[in-house]
A = this chain, B = another copy of it.
Amino acid sequence: MDQVPHTPAIVVDEPIVDANIAAMATFAADHNLALRPHAKTHKIAAIGHKQLAAGSQGLAVATVGEALYFFEHGITDLFLSYPLWATANDAESLSRLATEAVLAVGTDSVAAVHQLADVTRQHPGVELMIELNSGHNRSGVLPEHVVPIAEAIRDRNMVLRGLFTFPGHSYAPGEQTTAAADEARTLKTAERYLHEAGFDVPVLSGGSSPTAKATAADGAGEIRPGVYVFGDAQQYELGRIDVEDIALTVVTTVVSRHEAQDGVPARIIVDAGSKILAADRAPWATGHGRVLGHPDARITALSEHHGTISWDSDELPDIGTRLQLIPNHVCVAVNLVDEVYVTNGERITKTWQVGARGLNT
């Protein structure tokens, strides 16, 4: 990592990205699942194109801005998997996407359906996906509340594409199987309610990176994993991936070094803090990320430009040493840089612009 001109910086190992994309595509094909990767993880057009080349029909995105970015880079099947509250200021963008691309938008309320219909003037190119709460208790309705939303879609002459859910409660140790079962049951139950009310439900969409594989057996016809493309410390500590599958690290420099003294354990300070690793830390995480190649080191604290790492006192690295850190949650780390350095596993070959960075709306 000596070739990176300044630290901290994000480095992506392209062969690992390619292998992760190929493995998920093969899995989806083997199980007859449509694969629609969530692009909020990478926000990079080149990676979106790799995912499409491997067989994905389109991408999931989180914001209108992300949808426009990928559309402008030639990706024309986009699902805004979010309960959008559209306003008049979105009208032009949504109309363009609905006319020139294949567009689906999430919703979880009758009010938002009417708002979207008003804003888009019931554009026939805007298909709707109703969001279900499968146990994460974030957005999404319970299956018994799905019919009135479908009726509102029909009443406004808009197109119901199907149902989606995000089983975010899978992000805890031992919860993957339960969460995947919740997800499948929720999708199937809501589908039954809709069938009984006379609606077609062409698409059932589910699947986080932790549950994508468990989901396959039953339930969803489409999966939307995001993190799998890079991997991160959360997925590693959840036991979902091996360290060799992790494609993205933060290259950092040791800037301060302290032997154990007065009850304070030996520590090093690196120049990667919360402004590049981000502060996400699940209750079960061992720290604020991991140190590649040093499984016993613990990132015990983060401030904006400092990472504090406890380290075996006998082997404290020298000041100036470069290390590679694995972020806890890769999606938010990528969003903190304008570009990433790309390696072929040995040396930097190019950079990729994080073109959708900061597109929060």
Contact = CB atoms under 8 A, between A and B. Distances in A.
Contact of A84 (B40, B82, B254, B255): B255
A218 B253 CA distance: 35
A133 B338 CA distance: 33
Contacts of A85: 253-255, 271, 319-320
Interface in A290-338: 301, 303-306, 308, 318-320, 331-332, 335-338
Contacts of A168: 303
B111 A275 contact: no
A349 interface: no
B254 A305 contact: no
Interface stretch (A5-13, A15-23, A175-183, A199-207): A5-13
Main secondary structure, interface of A, reads loop
B5 A138 contact: no
Contact of A332 (B82, B90, B261, B275): B275
Count the copies: 2
B257 A109 contact: yes
Contacts of A5: 89
A6 B137 contact: no
A139 B256 CA distance: 6
B83 A255 contact: yes
Interface stretch (A26-34, A70-78, A235-243, A276-284): A276-284
A332 B256 contact: no
Contacts of A111: 318-320
Interface string A102-138: 0000001101100100000000000000010100011
Interface in A206-258: 253-258
Nearest to A5: B89
Contacts of A274: 278, 280, 332
Which interface residue of A5, A111, A131, A305 has the most chain B CB atoms within 10 A? A305
Interface residues of A, number: 65
A276 B65 CA distance: 14
Nearest to A10: B360
A319 B358 contact: no
B281 A63 contact: no
A305 B41 CA distance: 12
Given A139-B306, A256-B109, A281-B279, A6 B338 contact: no
A6 B306 contact: no
Interface in A260-289: 261, 264, 267, 269, 271, 274-276, 278-281
Contacts of A319: 85, 109, 111-112
Nearest to A261: B142
B6 A255 contact: no
Interface of A: 5-9, 40, 62-64, 82-85, 87, 89-90, 108-109, 111-112, 115, 131, 133, 137-140, 142, 168, 253-258, 261, 264, 267, 269, 271, 274-276, 278-281, 301, 303-306, 308, 318-320, 331-332, 335-338, 358, 360-361
Given A84-B255, A85-B255, A109-B319, 6 more contacts: A6-B361, A40-B304, A82-B271, A109-B257, A111-B319, A304-B332
Top 9 A-B pairs, shortest CB-CB distance? A6-B361, A139-B256, A279-B279, A279-B280, A139-B269, A5-B89, A111-B319, A62-B305, A83-B255
